[in-house]
Chains A and B, each alone.
Chain A
Amino acid sequence: MGLFSNLKSLFSKKKEIEETSIELPSNNEEKLIKENTDKEEVSQISEEVIEDKLDNEKELSNKEIVEEKKVIEKYDKGLEKSRKEFVSNLSMLGIKYSKVSEEYFEELEQILIMADIGVNTVFKFMDDIRSRVKKENIVDTAYLNEVIVDELFIIYVNGESLSDKINMAESGPTVILMVGVNGVGKTTTIGKLANKYALSGKKVMVIAGDTFRAGAVEQLKIWAERTNTEFYGKEGIDPAGVIYDGLEQAKNNGSDIVLIDTAGRLQNKVNLMKELEKINKVINKIIPKAPHETLLVIDASTGQNGILQAKSFKEITNITGIVLTKMDGTAKGGIVLAIKEEVGLPVKFIGLGEGLNDLETFDIENYIYGLFKDLIN
């Protein structure tokens, strides 16, 4: 069962790597497995595995393991609401239909669509599942659930080597630009990112490029105070101007990380998108190769429009990744699977609450683990 068992092995006591590598059905999965084994060191999930690992692994210090555990717990807690429903639906499906039938497919389709995975992605996915069921003559729904997890992984990973790394400047400040539609949580995410980098010992500066929304500058200023980071902003002037001055200052005072907030803009507003283009030019003028990262912030509850958001913003700016916010609610954020498939943008960070520390590096394994934990164990 290839990837699924591999995943399972990460979550359970025994590792079944050998077994899985024997059963590789396709090239695609082969790549995945290889990647998973490569990534192994960072993806221990359960306590047992961690204990297990302690015996035969040298690289990881105790502290790192504890941190890793914390991250996983946070994912677990943050995703609890999303996972519970999704997984219990999927498990119920297995109980309700012990044999694969047309009704089973119909309900499976419903579950996937309700997770906002994206209509086209789901329909394509359903076709894949149907043909696999036919080809491999699968009748057992419990087994099919494994296939489903497997195929979902394939959609996201798509044979690429995924990197959630943030591209850092070789010298001088690393510039991270935040963009997105209104109300997705750009300013809050900047606060959390500032905190993250400040805690890791970086000199951080935040620039208030949202000069449009009333109170936005003030909001970012408060975040800067809370995180003990430097703030640059002026109300009521052209955002490109503020960013220009802010970056000059960041360059002169030796900031390591510069986080730039921008006004929320709906992707179909031509003039606002042009403004974003201008902002990019200004940034590039002061610091060549910047912005090093342009992150599109997407609300986990976003429906099909998320795909259009990703497409439109990618046309205007060089989006390097997604920040998926508000994952502590009931929304499942499945749209990121469609965005990855249709637009090719990976998720880099995930927002799991309103606290300063509620931002984590996105890890597809943790994410899917969070969604499928109950199903797998």
Chain B
Amino acid sequence: MFDYLGDKISNAMKNIRGMGKITEENISDAMKEIRMALLEADVNYTVVKEFTNNVKEKALGLDVSKEINPDELFIKIVRDELISLLGETSATLETSKKPTILMLVGLQGSGKTTTAGKLALYLRKKHAKNPILVACDIYRPAAIDQLKTIGKEIQVPVFEEGTQEVNKTIANALEYARENNNDYIIIDTAGRLQIDEKLMDELKSIEDNFKPDEVILVIDAMMGQDAINVINGFNNKLNLTGCILTKLDGNTKGGVALSVRHLTNVPIKFVGDSEKMDGLTSFDPKRMAERILDMGDIISIAEKVEGIVDEEEAKEEARKMRKGTYSLEDFLNNLKQIKKLGPLEKIIGMLPQARKMGLNNINIDPKQLAHVEAIILSMTPYEREHPEILKASRKQRIANGSGRSVQEVNALLKQFEQMKVMMKQISNGNMKMPF
């Protein structure tokens, strides 16, 4: 998400590499680049000003000893400053009482309903909680239907009482939750402008009546400089406890993340990074800062892999690779695991090495993976373990079965053989990695 910002700052760093120490002159270009990059990322104008001033002050004020490269020192200053801007610690979700009441608020189209669904699924899956969703968008046509459809998909009950006054609905929902032993109530409210007094009063009345444990502002990461008016508008009227940034899977630079915490002290709790219902990730300022600085997001990948790959299985696979008995069946399993990680572009985008190789903008057609899968699935289990028995007629059958051509079947088998040879060499230490 912060690709551009990372690249720009990185570039600015290059210019000061090779210089002995940090002076006003040799960082002026870098500072300009940083300023431009932050503005292009929609970071609030005053935040940019403060940020660049702070960085400059710290960089110039330091006694640069000869052992340290000035660019590394500079990167560290920028990194630390970014972290402090994003908020030092990760924010957690309130869990103190039962049922805990969460209320989502925000402008029209910021993604409240989708985020409500994601939050419910997150609580149900990751924390084994038993939430309900409460439909309180009584204005937008079919908004309640939308929440109901989402509820069905993620198997979370949706409480709705049509378009009646929202405080009544919430009171009944609360009763329902107590009776049914639900531990979370997630209130999906209608989108509204922060300057719409009547609708803002409606939110205030919910806050006064039910004292929600969390009032979370859902905000579009693509927002420009007006973000601060929106955040302040909601924050002045309500006691916001947190913020969720949505649509970060777009190619927005998402500088609003930098503005939110710094200007309002409202912590960012989650980010929405996919259209799928599991596309909600805890916001981690350190990780975000490193990502901004092009250090890649290895931790994110590691975390994702952890949830998907079974350690025992992985060990077994490594053993098979060493022995050269890694079969097409194993390959198929790996493919399935890779698919679970999400779009490959996203994974590659997180890798700093890949980014340096220019692979960050690569497009991988998920169909190609599906074709490979189809071909393997058209083989018998025996064939998957012993691909050497595949001759013309079997290949033709597999091609027909998978809807691909014989050439594609051949290409896959050839690639697989090469891969096996390479795996063996690598694990025996006979070959250096090509990179």
A binding-site residues for B, Cβ under 8 Å: 81, 110, 113-116, 119, 123, 181-185, 213-216, 218-219, 221-223, 266-271, 299-306, 308, 326, 328-332, 335, 354
Complex contact B194–A330 (CB within 8 A): yes
Q: How far is the CB of A239 from chain B (nearest CB, A)?
A: 15
B143 CB within 8 Å of chain A: yes
What sequence of 0s and 1s flags, for each residue 347-389 of chain B, a beta carbon within 8 Å of any chain A beta carbon? 0000000000000000101100000000000000000000000
Complex contact B142–A215 (CB within 8 A): yes
B109 CB within 8 Å of chain A: yes
Q: Give bound CA distance, A268 to B366, whole Å.
A: 15
Q: Give bound CA distance, A222 to B195, whole Å.
A: 27
Complex contact A303–B251 (CB within 8 A): no
Q: How far is the CB of B69 from chain A (nearest CB, A)?
A: 30
21 contacts between A and B (CB under 8 A): A81-B195, A113-B45, A119-B39, A181-B250, A182-B109, A184-B109, A213-B146, A215-B146, A215-B148, A219-B145, A222-B142, A266-B247, A268-B250, A302-B222, A303-B256, A304-B41, A304-B253, A326-B107, A329-B230, A330-B229, A331-B226
Which residues of B188-242 are within 8 A (CB) of A? 193-195, 220, 222-227, 229-230, 233
Complex contact B225–A115 (CB within 8 A): yes
Seed contacts A215-B146, A215-B147; 10 additional CB < 8 Å A-B pairs:
A116-B225, A216-B146, A219-B142, A266-B249, A271-B365, A304-B253, A305-B222, A308-B251, A326-B109, A329-B226
- Which A residue sits closest to B143, measured CB to CB? A215
Q: How far is the CB of B204 from chain A (nearest CB, A)?
A: 19
The interface residues of chain A lying within 8 Å CB-to-CB of B140 are: 219
Selected from B40, B141, B143, B224, the residue in CB contact (under 8 A) with A302 is B224
Given A113-B45, A213-B146, A330-B194: A182 and B247 within 8 A (CB)?
A: yes
The interface residues of chain B lying within 8 Å CB-to-CB of A110 are: 45
Q: Give bound CA distance, A219 to B146, whole Å.
A: 9
- Which A residue sits closest to B220, measured CB to CB? A183
Complex contact B251–A113 (CB within 8 A): no
Q: Give bound CA distance, A332 to B229, whole Å.
A: 11
Complex contact A223–B141 (CB within 8 A): yes
The interface residues of chain B lying within 8 Å CB-to-CB of A302 are: 222-224
Given A113-B225, A119-B39: A215 and B149 within 8 A (CB)?
A: yes
| Residue among A181, A215, A308 with most chain B CB within 10 A | A215
Selected from A119, A215, A267, the residue in CB contact (under 8 A) with B36 is A119
Complex contact B110–A332 (CB within 8 A): no
Complex contact A214–B145 (CB within 8 A): yes
Given A213-B146, A330-B195: A305 and B250 within 8 A (CB)?
A: yes
Q: Give bound CA distance, A240 to B251, whole Å.
A: 26
B333 CB within 8 Å of chain A: no
The interface residues of chain B lying within 8 Å CB-to-CB of A115 are: 225
The interface residues of chain A lying within 8 Å CB-to-CB of B253 are: 304-305
Give the A-B contact count at a CB cut-off of 8 A.
140
The interface residues of chain A lying within 8 Å CB-to-CB of B224 are: 116, 301-304, 306, 331, 335
Interface residue tally for chain B (C-beta within 8 Å): 49
Complex contact B145–A218 (CB within 8 A): yes
Selected from A183, A216, A267, A328, the residue in CB contact (under 8 A) with B251 is A267
The interface residues of chain A lying within 8 Å CB-to-CB of B365 are: 270-271
The interface residues of chain B lying within 8 Å CB-to-CB of A266 are: 247, 249-251
Given A182-B247, A266-B249: A299 and B225 within 8 A (CB)?
A: no
Selected from A181, A221, A223, A304, the residue in CB contact (under 8 A) with B247 is A181
- Which B residue sits closest to A303, measured CB to CB? B224
- Which A residue sits closest to B140, measured CB to CB? A219
What sequence of 0s and 1s flags, for each residue 403-426 of chain B, a beta carbon within 8 Å of any chain A beta carbon? 000000000000000000000000
Which residues of B34-83 are within 8 A (CB) of A? 36, 39-42, 45
Complex contact A303–B141 (CB within 8 A): no
Complex contact B107–A216 (CB within 8 A): no
The interface residues of chain B lying within 8 Å CB-to-CB of A183 are: 108-111, 220, 247
Chain B interface, >50% SS class: loop
Q: Give bound CA distance, A308 to B41, whole Å.
A: 12
- Which B residue sits closest to A268, measured CB to CB? B251
Complex contact B146–A303 (CB within 8 A): no
B252 CB within 8 Å of chain A: yes
B138 CB within 8 Å of chain A: no
The interface residues of chain B lying within 8 Å CB-to-CB of A185 are: 108-109
B150 CB within 8 Å of chain A: yes
| Residue among A110, A303, A329, A335 with most chain B CB within 10 A | A303
The interface residues of chain B lying within 8 Å CB-to-CB of A331 are: 224, 226, 229
The interface residues of chain A lying within 8 Å CB-to-CB of B233 are: 330
The interface residues of chain A lying within 8 Å CB-to-CB of B363 are: 270
Q: How far is the CB of B130 from chain A (nearest CB, A)?
A: 22
| Residue among B111, B142, B233, B366 with most chain A CB within 10 A | B142
Selected from B142, B150, B229, B230, the residue in CB contact (under 8 A) with A216 is B142
Q: Give bound CA distance, A299 to B107, whole Å.
A: 11
Q: Give bound CA distance, A59 to B183, whole Å.
A: 69
Q: How far is the CB of B227 from chain A (nearest CB, A)?
A: 7
Complex contact A219–B141 (CB within 8 A): yes
Q: How far is the CB of B342 from chain A (nearest CB, A)?
A: 12
- Which A residue sits closest to B149, measured CB to CB? A214
- Which A residue sits closest to B43, measured CB to CB? A303
Q: Give bound CA distance, A305 to B250, whole Å.
A: 9
Q: Give bound CA distance, A221 to B36, whole Å.
A: 45
Q: Give bound CA distance, A116 to B223, whole Å.
A: 10
Q: Give bound CA distance, A219 to B113, whole Å.
A: 14
The interface residues of chain A lying within 8 Å CB-to-CB of B145 are: 214-215, 218-219
Q: Which 8 A-B pairs have the closest CB atoms?
A: A303-B224, A183-B109, A215-B146, A214-B149, A303-B42, A222-B141, A219-B142, A218-B142
- Which B residue sits closest to A225, measured CB to CB? B141
Q: How far is the CB of B259 from chain A (nearest CB, A)?
A: 11
Q: How far is the CB of B372 from chain A (nearest CB, A)?
A: 17
Q: How far is the CB of A234 from chain B (nearest CB, A)?
A: 15
Complex contact A305–B107 (CB within 8 A): no
Given A119-B40, A215-B143: A326 and B108 within 8 A (CB)?
A: yes
The interface residues of chain A lying within 8 Å CB-to-CB of B142 are: 215-216, 218-219, 221-222
The interface residues of chain A lying within 8 Å CB-to-CB of B227 are: 301, 303
Q: Give bound CA distance, A332 to B224, whole Å.
A: 10
Q: Give bound CA distance, A23 to B227, whole Å.
A: 41
The interface residues of chain A lying within 8 Å CB-to-CB of B255 are: 303
Selected from B111, B195, B226, B230, the residue in CB contact (under 8 A) with A182 is B111
The interface residues of chain A lying within 8 Å CB-to-CB of B36 are: 119, 123
Q: Give bound CA distance, A340 to B348, whole Å.
A: 33
Q: Give bound CA distance, A271 to B226, whole Å.
A: 31
